[in-house]
Structure 1
Amino acid sequence: MLGFLLAFGTAISEALKDVTSKFNLHHIDEYTAAFSLHLVQSILLAPIVIYLGPEELTSRFLWALLASSVLQLTVILLYFKAIKRSELSVTVPLITLTPLFMLLTSPIMIGEFPNALGIVGIVLIVAGTYISNLSPDQKNVFAPFVSLVKNQGSRYMLIVAFIWSITSNIDKIGVEETSPVFWAFTKDFLILFYLIPILIIKSRKPLRQINNRKWGLLFVGFFKSASVLTQMYAIQFILVAYVISIKRASSIFIILFAFFYLNEKQNFRNRMIGIITILAGLFIIAVS
């Protein structure tokens, strides 16, 4: 139950991160946003890492760190390419497929496979999140999959979803070799350095952008740090595929926030169907 609660905390933190990010992206570019997120997270986690003391760096940890950081950087670049080249309505739903990919990658990489009831819960959460992310003017529920044939952005997003199914399992390896805090810090600190040349090349006056939105970016980084830490601790108690599935349930909180505070009431019927389906999946995973 502790692992489930931690994973649920990940979903809440992820939703808060997404909501605050949405407001910030009206004022800064995506490259500055990505850099700032990793910068704040590194600053917040550094004192904790120093307080807890050094960890033994095994070769397995170092290989996991290199693989995870490179793959995460690839995800950042592909994600931005996807949303730049295609409509969000046909790309974002494809992200929800990550837990399904993990039914393949987790047994191969870390020897974890959910029981039959857990698989049902994962499928329900994926289906509910997928439905919730469909655009209100989407006439065909399978449109995001159809777009894979002719839409490069959709193909990029599908690759993003698959890579996340790999990096989530690598997180388990990193946590096993060190600790949740140390792994979260070292991975994102390394990605921060990868982003520096990209920021210099792609962004216009990034320091001014950061200064103008410093408090908003601080909140984004704080919620992201909370999301990462709860996720890393959660995977110590329950299967990684369960954690990522529950994490995707963050769409529940985003939908409710948009409905009550942003007055986004379009497509409410489909979104309520999605929420109910997600809740059913969460319940099944909790009792499995």
Structure 2
Amino acid sequence: MIGFLLAFGTAISEALKDITSKYNLHHIDEYTAAFSMHLVQSGLLIPLVFYFGIEHMSPRFLWALLASSLLQLMVILLYFKAIKRSELSVTVPLVTLTPLFMLITSPLMIGEFPSLLGVGGIVLIVAGTYISNIEENNKNFFAPFASLVKNQGPRYMLLVAFIWSITANIDKIGVEETSPIYWAFAKDFVILIYLVPIIIWKSKRPLLQIKNRKWPLLLVGFFRSASVLTQMFAIQFILVAYVISIKRASSVFIILFAFFYMNERKNFRNRLTGIIIIMLGLGIIAIS
């Protein structure tokens, strides 16, 4: 149960991170947003790293760190390309497929495979999240998949979903070799270093952007840190595929926030249906 609660904490933190990030992106560019988020997370975690001590970095850990950081950097770039080249309504639903990909990648990479009941819970969460992200018009139900043929953006997002199914399993390796805190810090600190030349190249006056939005950006980094830490601790107790499925349920909190605080009523019938299916899937995973 503790693993389920930690994963649920990941979903809440991820939702809060996404909500605050969306607000920030009205004022700063995406590269500055990504850089500042990793900067804040590194700053928050480094005292914990020194408090608990520097971990021994085995060759397996170093290979995992290299692979994870490079793949995560690729995801950042592909994600931004996807949302710039296509509508969100045909790209975001494809991200929900990550847990389904993990039914293949997890057994191959770390030897984890959920029970039959657990697979049912994962499928329900994926279906519910997908439904909550599509337009109410029935003809758009398969639009994200149909768009794969003619649009580059959805193809990028599908690749993002698949890469995340790999990096989530690498997280398990990194945590096993060191600790949740040390792995979370090391991975994001390396990504932060990668982002330095990118922000110099792509952003306009990034330091001024950060200065003008320092408190909201600090909030994003805080929620991101909470999301990463709860996820890393959760995968010590339950299967990685379960953790990521529950994490994707963050859409429930985003939908409810939009409904009650931003007065967004559009597409709520599909979203309510999706929430019910997601909650059923969460319940099945909790008892599996």
Note whether the superposition's TM-score is higher than 0.5.
yes
Per the alignment, do residues 139 and 232 of structure 1 end up closer, same or farther by CA in structure 2, a change over 3 Å counting?
same
Is 1:245 aligned to residue 245 of structure 2?
Answer: yes
Match of 2:267 in 1: 267
| CA distance in 2 between partners of 1:141 and 1:233 (Å) | 36
Match of 2:218 in 1: 218
1:102-157 deviations in whole A, cap 9, x for unaligned? 00000000000000000000000000000111134563211100000011000000
Is 1:15 aligned to residue 15 of structure 2?
Answer: yes
Where structure 2 has 5 or more consecutive residues not aligned to the other structure, the ranges are: none
Amino acid at match of 1:248: R
Amino acid at match of 1:205: R
Equivalences for residues 1-288 of structure 1 within 5 A: 1-136=1-136, 139-288=139-288
Amino acid at match of 2:197: P
| CA distance in 2 between partners of 1:74 and 1:277 (Å) | 32
Structure 1 consecutive aligned stretches of length 4 or more whose deviation exceeds 6 Å: none
Q: Is the 8 A contact 1:83 1:91 kept in 2?
A: yes
Q: Could you state the TM-score of these two structures normalised by the residue count of structure 2?
A: 0.99
Secondary structure (helix, strand or coil) at the match of 1:149 reads helix
Per the alignment, do residues 277 and 24 of structure 1 end up closer, same or farther by CA in structure 2, a change over 3 Å counting?
same
| CA distance in 2 between partners of 1:72 and 1:187 (Å) | 9
Q: Is the 8 A contact 1:89 1:138 kept in 2?
A: no
Amino acid at match of 1:132: S
1:240-276 deviations in whole A, cap 9, x for unaligned? 0000000000000000000000000011111000000
Amino acid at match of 1:261: Y
Where structure 1 has 5 or more consecutive residues not aligned to the other structure, the ranges are: none
Q: Is the 8 A contact 1:125 1:245 kept in 2?
A: yes
| CA distance in 1 between partners of 2:149 and 2:105 (Å) | 24
Amino acid at match of 1:31: Y
Secondary structure (helix, strand or coil) at the match of 1:172 reads helix
Amino acid at match of 1:86: S
How far is the alpha carbon of 1:54 from its aligned partner?
Answer: 1.3
| CA distance in 1 between partners of 2:143 and 2:286 (Å) | 32
Q: Could you state the TM-score of these two structures normalised by the residue count of structure 1?
A: 0.99
Amino acid at match of 2:269: R
1:166-208 deviations in whole A, cap 9, x for unaligned? 0000000000000000000000000000000000000000000
Count of residue pairs the alignment pairs up: 288
| CA distance in 2 between partners of 1:149 and 1:155 (Å) | 8
